[in-house]
Structures are given as C-alpha cells and as structure tokens.
C-alpha cells in the first residue's frame, strides 16, 4: 500500500509542480528562435504592478526543473512577483542548451534573443508588471544567454544574476565555446567594452547591474569566465570603491566571499559571490524556513545557502 501511494505521489508531484507554470508559447507571434515560454503568477493578488524575473535554465534542463530546483516560484508566491521561463527545444539543440555561442543568437532582434524579448513584451502587455523592475537570472548556458540578453536590451533589465556564465561575445561558434569555457581568453577592456556596445554604439543609458555567482571548482565553466564577465561589466560602470567580506551562512556552507563594486553613489552595481571549492551546481538550502528553499537535483545541491533568496535580497525583492 505504501509503495503504491509513493509511486502515485511521484507521478502526481511533477504534474502539480508544472501546473504552477502557464504555457504562453502559443501567444508568441514571431518566435524567431522557436522557444517555449511559461509564466508563473504569484498567489498573492494585488492591484499594484509587480516585478518580473526571467529565469533561463541550463543544458539538459527545462522550465519545470529549474523552477523547482532554484525555488523561484516559492519566492514569487511569498514575496509577490512574476516569473517568466523561456525554454529551449530539442529541435534547436539536442542537449536543450540555449545557443548562446551562435552569432545569430547573440544579436538584437534575431534568433533566440528575439524570442525571449517577445516573451517579455507579451508578459508586460498582459500582466500587471512594473517595467522598472524586470530582472534576469540564468544558470550555465542560461547564464550566458542572459548576458546576451542584457547586452542586446540593456534598457529593459534592471539587474542580472549570472550563475556560471561567460562574458558577452566571448565566443561565436560551438567549437570555441568548449575551449573558452575551460580556459577563457582575457581580452582587453577596449574589446570587452566594444562588444557590449556592438548592438547600439550610440546607447547612452545605463547597463543592467550585475550579480555573478561562480564556484572555484567548476569543471564545466571555469571560474575565470566569471572574472572576465566582471572585467567586461566594469568598463560600463565607473567603480569608485570595492569591498570584500565573507558571507555568513550555514554550518555546511563552503566559504563564500562577496565583493561589492560600488559607484560614486555607493550603489553595488556589480556583486561577485566567489564560492570556494564549489562545482557546477546551483547552491540551495531545502527547508521550510523563510530563507530556505530549492530542491536537490542533478543540477542543484544543498550548500546550506539559498542563493536564490540572496539574489532576491540583492534585488530588493526580499527585505
């Protein structure tokens, strides 16, 4: 009896989880990149406009898995914001990776970038979303694609959280992606800045603020990629000061050093979380506490530190 109940629960649970996501793929008219799209609406009802968080999954993942592993839906319900999930199709990439390394998917209004932007446009026009509070979060390939999106539409994103990602236009072919992920080329500031402005050389607005979370023992995307990304983003912000401190978390949390790169106004425009001896996984802290969340999977491990919640705090979504 117990075995039967457990089996039934294992079949129902994924369905219940996925039911939290509304499929809006058919609402996309152009969808140049041929992606799926899902949105999660917060349980809390309100007449005021809410923030929106875009969440991009990694390779061999989908919207359902990253929503459960990262715990974003859980936070959205408790804190009151929308979550939008672009999803790759196997027809585009056999490993379901976003094609962040292809030239056509790095350009404004083209390919997968155009599809993601169309999703955002649809969400803003059909849901009560505060356009001044749109954020993007990506893991691995989704992190690299998030960087692409921030570079192509800088004025539409307030801040981005990049977990094990790369700099914008670090590569433009699949073969280059393998070598650069293992050992990134450290380009000079002029080249890095030119790449960020390559979509609009006359852009005078501010670029999105940046949060980077990267493990020093990442065997898939070398930690150096996070440093090159920060080097690139520092070219568009005037950094006035840098402060470093150790993050106080759980007893089993690896040593995490946080570096804040602040502008003249004292804003932490770039934040780096350097996780010592941490690999290519989301760091979560499953549990019922207000600062706990996420589910252990092949892409997420219990590090006694709910990184998703920390990002929400840095974005002022959580107090």
Per-residue confidence (pLDDT) for residue 4, from 0 to 100? 38
- CA-closest candidate to residue 162, choices 181, 136, 188: 136
Burial of 11: CB neighbours in 10 Å, binned 0-12, 13-18, 19+:
exposed
Comparison of pLDDT for 244 and 20, the residue scoring more:
244
Comparison of pLDDT for 5 and 31, the residue scoring more:
31
Number of neighbours of residue 288 by Cβ within 10 angstroms? 6
Would you say 149 and 173 are in contact if contact means Cβ atoms under 8 Å apart? no
| Structural domains for the chain | 21-239 (3.40.50.1820)
pLDDT band at 20 (very low <50, low <70, confident <90, very high): confident
Cα separations in angstroms, 208 against 57, 162, 258, 270: 20, 12, 19, 9
Per-residue confidence (pLDDT) for residue 276, from 0 to 100? 98
Query: Which residues are within 8 A (CB) of 2 and not within 5 positions of it... i.e. 6 or more apart?
Result: none
Task: List, in sequence order, every residue forming a beta bridge with 215; answer none if it has no partner.
Answer: 275
Burial of 126: CB neighbours in 10 Å, binned 0-12, 13-18, 19+:
exposed
Condensed to tens digits (0 to 9), the pLDDT of residues 269-300 reads 999 999 999 999 999 999 999 899 999 999 99
Per-residue confidence (pLDDT) for residue 12, from 0 to 100? 38
Per-residue confidence (pLDDT) for residue 46, from 0 to 100? 83
pTM: 0.93
The strand ranges marked E within 28-157 are: 36-40, 50-56, 82-87, 129-139
Condensed to tens digits (0 to 9), the pLDDT of residues 51-107 reads 999 999 999 999 999 999 999 999 999 999 999 999 999 999 999 999 999 999 999
Per-residue confidence (pLDDT) for residue 16, from 0 to 100? 43
Query: Which residues are within 8 A (CB) of 25 and not within 5 positions of it... i.e. 6 or more apart?
Result: 31, 35, 36, 37, 38
* pLDDT tops 60 at residue 19: no
DSSP-derived secondary structure for 126-183: HS-EEEEEEEEEEETHHHHHHHHHHHHSGGG-SEEEEES---TTS-SSHHHHHHHHHS
* pLDDT tops 50 at residue 11: no
pLDDT band at 18 (very low <50, low <70, confident <90, very high): very low
* pLDDT tops 80 at residue 201: yes
């Amino acid at each position: 009896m117990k075995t039967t109940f457990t089996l039934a629960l294992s079949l129902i649970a994924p369905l219940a989880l996925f039911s939290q996501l509304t499929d809006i793929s058919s609402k996309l008219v152009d969808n140049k990149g041929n992606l799926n799209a899902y949105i999660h609406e917060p349980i809390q009802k309100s007449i005021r406009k809410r923030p929106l968080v875009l969440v991009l999954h990694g390779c061999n993942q989908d919207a359902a898995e990253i929503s459960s592993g990262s715990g974003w839906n859980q936070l959205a319900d408790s804190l009151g914001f929308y979550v939008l999930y672009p999803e790759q199709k196997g027809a585009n990439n056999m490993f379901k990776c976003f094609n962040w390394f292809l030239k056509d998917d790095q350009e404004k209004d083209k390919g997968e970038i155009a599809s993601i932007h169309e999703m955002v446009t649809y969400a803003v026009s059909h849901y009560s979303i505060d356009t001044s509070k749109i954020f993007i979060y990506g893991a691995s390939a989704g992190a690299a694609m998030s960087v692409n999106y921030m570079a192509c539409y800088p004025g539409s994103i307030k801040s981005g959280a990049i977990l094990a990602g790369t700099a914008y236009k670090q590569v433009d072919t699949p073969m280059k992606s393998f070598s650069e992920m293992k050992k990134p080329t450290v380009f000079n500031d002029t080249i890095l800045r030119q790449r960020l402005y390559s979509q609009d050389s006359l852009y005078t607005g501010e670029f999105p603020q940046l949060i980077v979370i990267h493990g020093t023992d990442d065997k898939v995307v070398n930690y150096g990629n996070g440093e090159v990304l920060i080097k690139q983003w520092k070219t568009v912000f005037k950094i006035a000061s840098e402060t470093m401190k150790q993050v106080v978390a759980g007893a089993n949390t690896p040593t995490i050093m946080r570096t804040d790169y602040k502008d003249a106004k004292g804003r932490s425009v770039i934040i780096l979380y350097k996780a010592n001896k941490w690999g290519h996984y989301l760091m979560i802290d499953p549990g019922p506490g207000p600062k706990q969340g996420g589910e252990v999977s092949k892409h997420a491990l219990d590090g006694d530190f709910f990184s998703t919640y920390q990002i929400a705090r840095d974005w002022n979504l959580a107090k």
